[in-house]
Amino acid sequence: MAGDIQRIADLESAPVAEAVAQHSEVVESLYVAGSVGARPLVVVRPMGFLTAAELRRHCRELGVAAEFDVLFIDETQAVDTAAPDAAWLTANAAPDALSLFEAPDGEIETQLVAVWERILDFTPISVHDDFVDVGGDSLSAMEIAVAIAQRWDVNLSLVDLVDASSVRNLSELVRAAQASR
């Protein structure tokens, strides 16, 4: 819990840093202001399994802005807490360790994010968040498929929807289906 958490460092007293540090799966965290794309970078050493989507949801539930990038590190990795370099950290991150938050681009992505947030009761959703990581299951996949059919007159199978796994990939499927008409 919060009393057991050690913070690597707080570079500024940001609500995001405090909210991240309060998550029960966070052992250590570092908040780096204005990293990639001017979003903050949160470096996290988790205790167990933790996704960037779950960390953003936790912050949102605490009333804190949750549009930040997340870099997961393990106990073997060290971070210079005196002068962390967000560009260096992200460039040298393991392929699956970095989760960039990206807002929707264009009408289809914007509407798909709104559908996911409504059906999955999860906010904020990055266009790269994995469907299962944000609470998706077969029932919510069916609801999303129905919403897509109603909005864009595109019929996607549940397999297509789950295989797409993100809003970005799903929007590409919708655009491809529309173009093939």
- pLDDT tens track for 33-50: 765 556 788 889 899 889
CA distance 167 to 177: 15
pLDDT at residue 166 is higher than 70: yes
CA distance 104 to 107: 8
Q: Which token pair is 97?
A: 């360790």
- pLDDT tens track for 101-111: 999 999 999 99
The closest of 143, 110, 105, 108 to 156, measured between CA atoms, is 143
Residue with more model confidence, 168 or 98: 168
CA distance 147 to 3: 43
- pLDDT tens track for 45-96: 899 889 999 999 999 999 988 888 899 988 767 776 666 777 777 777 777 8
Give CA separation, 123 vs 41, 155, 175, in Å.
18, 25, 24
**Geometric angle at alpha carbon 58, from 172 and 21, rounded to 5°:** 125
Give CA separation, 92 vs 89, 95, 102, 113, in Å.
5, 9, 20, 30
Domains of the chain: 2-99 (3.30.300), 107-179 (1.10.1200.10)
Amino acid symbol at 15: P
